[in-house]
Amino acid sequence: TATPSRATRRDGGDLAELHERGFYVEPTSAVAVAGLADYRERGAVCSDDDVVVALTGSGLKQ
């Protein structure tokens, strides 16, 4: 599974990508997104599979 470092690495990782797309969530939610990306890379989840990832927390757009 994905490590927290992928979600919150120095360049922003998946957390920064979520913010760019308008999702202001807490860092632990970004770990779930990183996990989904990891499963897709390994072929455990196909691109046409229906997947739900719960994103929690809130943020302030600056």
CA 11 to chain centre: 14
pLDDT of residue 21: 86
Per-residue pLDDT of 2-18, as tens digits, reads 455 666 565 567 777 88
Per-chain mean pLDDT for the chain: 78
**Residue 4 CB neighbours (<10 A):** 14
pLDDT band at 38 (very low <50, low <70, confident <90, very high): confident
End-to-end alpha carbon distance in the chain: 32
CB crowding 10-33: b at 16 or more within 10 Å, else e: eeebbbeebbeeeebbeeebbbbb
